[in-house]
Amino acid sequence: MVITSRLLRQRDYMTTRDATRPSEFTKGTCLSRIQGMAAAGRNSAAAVSKFVIAHPDEVLQFTLSELAAKVGTSVASISRFCALLGYENYRAFQIDLTASLAGSVSPVSDLFSATDDPSTIIKRVFAINRQCLADTEALLDSESMVSIAKSITESRRLCVIGIGGSGLVAKSGALRLASLGITALAITDPYEGLLTLSSTTPKDVVIGISHTGRSAIVLELMQLAREKGALTVGITNYSDSTLAKSSDFRLLTSFRERRINAAVSSSSIAQLSVLDAIYFLIAYFQGPKAERLVLEIEKAAENILRAKV
């Protein structure tokens, strides 16, 4: 099968699916999906998200026009909000909100007080990270993950783009995938990215990582990859971010941050977990080949890197 035609069909499939019906992964994940949107800014979608998070039970009783009046926005804005989340209409949004409330747990605050004792701080850090991972898992679409893994397996080259904290994730992810025999490169510098992506082809896959989805360097490099015809994957915390909306596939993490440093810390763990899931999917598709490669690396590491006891 020619990879170019396969990637084009995947893009058409994703576009059609998003435009005609809500994805399967929206079922019961409503609250997780709007957490990041609530912190995204001051637009109408953020305003609606904040209201839903604060008054979820009331929203279940509101008509579309009643919710618009309560938020102080238009009916059209509420409809766009539902579509942005992947729902075909307002009723579908309410149904998923009901399922989400039934399975939700009390949120863990990421705020720390000067009066907190060390044991409380330690417990809260782990609780925050557990919640971030659980919410991110709920958002992942298994069909998309499988399509991405298969595309990487059949690709000529994989490039993983990240700047700053996301750059560390990119390096770790690329290294892991390279251990499976994938030609995987981590791009953490804009000049490096320009030189590397200038030779990108439609047979390549490019993953961009940005918590906010607004990193200028990541967006510019992803745009270059798209112009070259590569399949693009965006990993971000915000469904309405430029990175999410402009990528062929979007993989969302979920973290309700109040401060960017705290958010990046926990979302990096979620980003690594997403890449790890892709790694194991690729290993699954490779079968015995993956096991052989892993054993060869383990044997080499034992002989070269580990002290003899």
pLDDT tens-place string over residues 148-179: 999 999 999 999 999 988 999 999 999 999 99
Coil/strand/helix, residue 233 = strand
- In 3-state terms the chain splits into helix, strand, coil percentages (rounded to 5) of 65, 10, 30
Mean pLDDT of 18-47: 63
Whose structure tokens read 């490096």? 192
Distance CA 150, CA 124 (A): 37
Q: Quick one: CA torsion of 226, 241, 85, 131, rounded to 10 degrees?
A: 110
What does each C-alpha distance from 194 to 141, 161, 188, 223, 243 come to in angstroms?
31, 11, 11, 11, 18
Q: How high is the pLDDT of residue 16?
A: 34
Distance CA 233, CA 243 (A): 9
Mean pLDDT of 295-301: 86
Written as six digits, the tokens of 201 are: 């082809």
| 87-96, 98-107, 289-298: range with lowest mean pLDDT | 98-107
Written as six digits, the tokens of 254 are: 């979920």
Coil/strand/helix, residue 180 = coil
Distance CA 198, CA 221 (A): 10
Are 11 and 248 in contact by the 8 Å Cβ rule? The answer is: yes
> Could you tell me the domains of the chain?
3-104 (1.10.10.10), 139-300 (3.40.50.10490)
How many other C-beta atoms are found inside a 10 Å radius of the C-beta of residue 24?
11
Whether the per-residue pLDDT at 1 is higher than 50: the answer is no
Higher pLDDT, 29 or 183: 183
Q: How high is the pLDDT of residue 28?
A: 64
Whether the per-residue pLDDT at 259 is higher than 70: the answer is no
Whether the per-residue pLDDT at 62 is higher than 80: the answer is yes
Q: How high is the pLDDT of residue 20?
A: 33
β-strand pairing of 204-209 with 249-252: unpaired
Burial class (CB in 10 A: 0-12, 13-18, 19+), 233: buried
Q: How high is the pLDDT of residue 19?
A: 34
Q: How high is the pLDDT of residue 185?
A: 97
Q: Where on the phi/psi map is residue 181: left (φ > 0), alpha (ψ -120 to 50), or beta?
A: left
Q: How high is the pLDDT of residue 120?
A: 86
β-strand pairing of 184-187 with 249-252: unpaired
User: What is the share, in percent, of the chain residues with pLDDT greater than 70?
Assistant: 82
Q: How confident is the model at residue 23 (pLDDT cuts 50, 70, 90)?
A: very low
β-strand pairing of 204-209 with 157-162: parallel
Whether the per-residue pLDDT at 132 is higher than 50: the answer is yes
Coil/strand/helix, residue 159 = strand
Share the mean pLDDT of the chain: 84
What does each C-alpha distance from 180 to 116, 126, 131 come to in angstroms?
44, 31, 30
Mean pLDDT of 218-236: 97
Whose structure tokens read 């804005």? 77
Whether the per-residue pLDDT at 289 is higher than 80: the answer is yes
Q: How high is the pLDDT of residue 3?
A: 45
For residue 240, the 8-state DSSP code is: T
Whether the per-residue pLDDT at 2 is higher than 70: the answer is no
Distance CA 101, CA 294 (A): 42
